[in-house]
Each structure stands twice: as structure tokens, then as C-alpha cells.
Amino acid sequence: MALDKDLSSIQEARDLAQKAYDAWKSWSHASQAEVDRICAAMAEAGYQAAERVGRLAQEETSFGVAAHKRIKNEFASRTVWQSIRDLKTVGVIRHDPDRRLYEIAWPLGVVVALIPSTNPTSTAYFKALIAVKTRNAIIFAPHPSAARCTYEAVQAMAMAAENAGAPRGLISCMQQISLQGTQELMTHRLTALILATGGSPMVRAAHSTGKPAYGVGPGNVPVYVDRSADLEKAARYIVASKAFDYSTICATEQAVVADRPIARRLADLMRQQGAYFTSEQETESLRRLVFHADGSINTALVAKSAPYVAAYANFQVPADTRILVTPLTKAGKQEPLSFEKLTTVLAWYETDGWEQGCETSLALIDTGGRGHTQIIYANDDRVIMAFGLEKPVFRILVNTMGSLGAIGLTTGLMPSLTLGSGGVGGSITGDNVTAYHLINIKRLAYEMSTPPLEALTAGPSLPGPSPTEIERVVRQVISDILGSKTN
């Protein structure tokens, strides 16, 4: 009898969980050499397939730019692998002879990975590598609108792993996609951890299962440009970063906060880079169309080019326009365009001095980006450190792009496509999630000092009741009971 879609999805989730667990039981005993050899093969296979699956992602979702997705796929395969290649994940990984302490890596088991439609192939690459590097099995639950491209990306990794000697079923991907199936996968008794990257509803669902979860959601990244900044560099980087893959990375710039003495010059330089500053009427049109009345984003405009967004909003821009910049004065619920915009629309604010710039940045972070990312362009170390110390975010990027800096391509941050927002952002970590987040550590600890045996074996400091006293109390209790029964 044919099952309906939901039942088929649930059954597939159960089957994949069991197969992954069986594969993990074998893989959990792999040596470091085996792990590294198979991960190297996976990274190379992913790199070679980067263009193909990037093109598939753009075609299937209609989001972003295929060439930019290729860059992300190459980053998520080769660059991520290079960042974790030398990480010890098997056996004794650290030894402290002074403390007589050994730390031993221990895998988690079966990891369930939720994948967003905005970065469906690169996120799959990245999560497959960090899971296998740590001797875990991994099952992917794609977004329904990106099911095919995610599956193809996962298959590239899975086939490379199996051809190199990994057990079959170690890396797998759901094909019968439904909410019920994904829920079954997340709550399955064999699931050890959920690695969720995507929108707020997805992250809340992961945290509500009762399973351990790394859940990371949206950012709302302000970029403050100080009067001490290199304005040419800032303009070039901001426009290029916002236009990159049409703003699909969660750390992409969402608002410029320009120091007033340099604001006009910065705006002119951004125009030279392809930025179009909207009129009040055009801004109002975008305000009504980028978001729905309930505050949710209009998916028809997600990851679309600036000319496409402008035409949707009934105004025209030059064909070479890369981003739309909307001058604003308010932030928060009263201004929809102050929230995260997963498209080529960038807010613009002007403030007088870095202190006001700091306040405006905080207001923007509070609209939905707590814990995520802040960018600052400045050459005044005092201002840079003030932003670093005061902002409730865990990535403060200095003089670099948001989209590529936060993920670790242009900075020293750990390469990752899952960016934690810490406790203030509802996440268990503020780190760029990577391989060492997917292992537990056993600690083998030797005695370093002798216990105070005399104190442990000494008798009580106060004498207890004597046997005769105990007998007297017992007789009295019995007598009282019998007397009460007689009465």
C-alpha cells in the first residue's frame, strides 16, 4: 500500500536514523589517519562539484548568484577542511603533565543537520566535513525549496567518503521532505544532536525537541563608518558585500551608520560602486513590499537583484545598480526596513560622532541581531575598542566585509557557515561553530595530592546515644502505642 507524503517522510527519517547509527557504531572506532584521509577526499570532491551544485542551487531556489554560490561552496569544502585538518579528534587530544590530566575525544553519535534554502549547498558541505572529522554520522534535512540541490551536494560528499572507505549510511539526506518527517528525525531516539542553521522558526523547532542543539538564526548587522575610516575601501567593500549572492549570508550588512562629517562623501563613493539611494517615495514603496503586514519577509524579494527589487516596487534604476540604499531615521518596530533584509536593500543612517553611532548600532542590533555581528570601519583604535567592548555581539569585524569576514574567509575567525549568537541571541554558543563543537571530551585524571585520610576516618565529634538509652526510648514508644490502643 502506498503511503502518503507525511508517512513516507516519517518512515524515511526512521530508516535513515537507524542506518546512520549502524554506520556510526563502526565509524566511532576509526583512527585519526582514517578520518583525515576520508575528510580530505570529501573536501576535494566538494570543491570539484562547487560550480555544479552552486548552479543547481540558484536554479532550484531562484536565490542569489550562481558564481557567488560557487565561491561559498569552495570555501565550505577546501577552506573549511584546511581549518580543521590538523585538529585532533581521535583518542588523546591533549595531555597536561603538570596536572596529570589526559583529554580524550569522544564522538556524539548521529547528528541531524537542518539546512536553509539561502545557503543550501555550502552549509551541507561544511556540516558534512565537521561531522565526519569528529567521527559522527550525519543526516541532512533540507529546506523543501532546496531539496534537490542539497541532496546533490550531500551525495558528492557521501560518495567520496564511501569510495575512500567510510561505512555506507554515515552521510545521508532526506528526499521525502515534510515537517512531520523532519520532526521525526529531530526527535528520534538515536539522534544525539541537532545542528540547525536557518530562520527563527527552524531554530525554535530544534530547541523545542528536548535534544541538544546548536541553533543559529538571523542577524541584523550594522556597519558603522567613522570619520577616521578609509572611505574608498569602506564604500567598495560595503557595496560588494551587500551585493554578494544578493545578501543571503546572515552576516551581510543590513544598515550603514555613517558619521555625519563623512556621510556625503561615503554616499558618493558608494554610488560610484553601484549603490542607488532611494527617494522618500521609493523608500515608502520598499517599506510596504519588502515585508508583509505581520512583519514576515516577502519571499518574492529574497535574494533578488537590485533592478528586480526596484521593478517589483514600481520604480526603475540603472541596469548596473548593485544595491538599493534607503535613508532612514528610526529603528525598531516603527521602521520595517531597520530589520534584517535578505535581499539587496540596505538601510542608511547618519549620526554625529561615534557615541551616537554606537547608540544607533545598538538599536539596530536590538531589532533582531543580538549576539550576531557588528562591523566598523575606522582607523582610530580608541573607537574600534569602544565598539568591541560595548556591543552585545560575538563578531566585531574591523575594516572588512560582513558577508565574507564573519564566516572566516577574510579574517582570522574560524571558517564556518553556522554562526552562533550566544546566550543574548538564544544560542548555546557565540562561536563560529566548527568541528570541536561536535565532540565530547573525556578526562583521565590521576591523583595529584593525597586525601586527608585521618579526617575522613575519624569518629563523630559528639558521642551518640548508648545502647541502653536507645532500648529505653524504644520501650517507651511501644508502651505509648499500646496504651493509646487500650484507651
- The percentage of residues in the chain with a pLDDT greater than 70, rounded to a whole number, is 95
SS3 content of the chain, % helix, strand, coil (to 5): 50, 20, 35
Section 329-334 average pLDDT: 94
Measured distance CA(68)–CA(54) in Å, rounded: 8
| CATH (one of 3.40.50.300, 3.60.20.10, 3.40.605.10, 3.30.2350.10) for 9-217 | 3.40.605.10
| Range(s) of the chain covered by CATH 3.40.309.10 | 221-405
| Range(s) of the chain covered by CATH 3.40.605.10 | 9-217
Q: Does domain 221-405 have CATH number 3.40.309.10?
A: yes
* pLDDT score at 462: 57
* pLDDT score at 75: 98
Q: Is the pLDDT of residue 193 over 90?
A: yes
Residue 250: active-site member:
yes
Q: How many Cα atoms sit within 13 Å of 214 on the Cβ side? A: 24
Q: Do residues 310 and 324 make contact, with C-beta atoms less than 8 angstroms apart?
A: yes
Lowest mean pLDDT among 218-222, 231-235, 430-434: 218-222
Q: Is the pLDDT of residue 372 over 80?
A: yes
* pLDDT score at 189: 97
* pLDDT score at 367: 92
* pLDDT score at 154: 98
Least Cα distance to 111 among 186, 26, 51, 56 occurs for 186
Measured distance CA(123)–CA(240) in Å, rounded: 21
How many CB atoms sit inside 10 A of residue 314's CB? 10
Lowest mean pLDDT among 95-104, 135-144, 421-430, 462-471: 462-471
Section 231-251 average pLDDT: 97
39, 173, 250, 358: which is the annotated catalytic residue? 250
pLDDT tens by residue, 94-122: 999 999 999 999 999 999 999 999 999 99
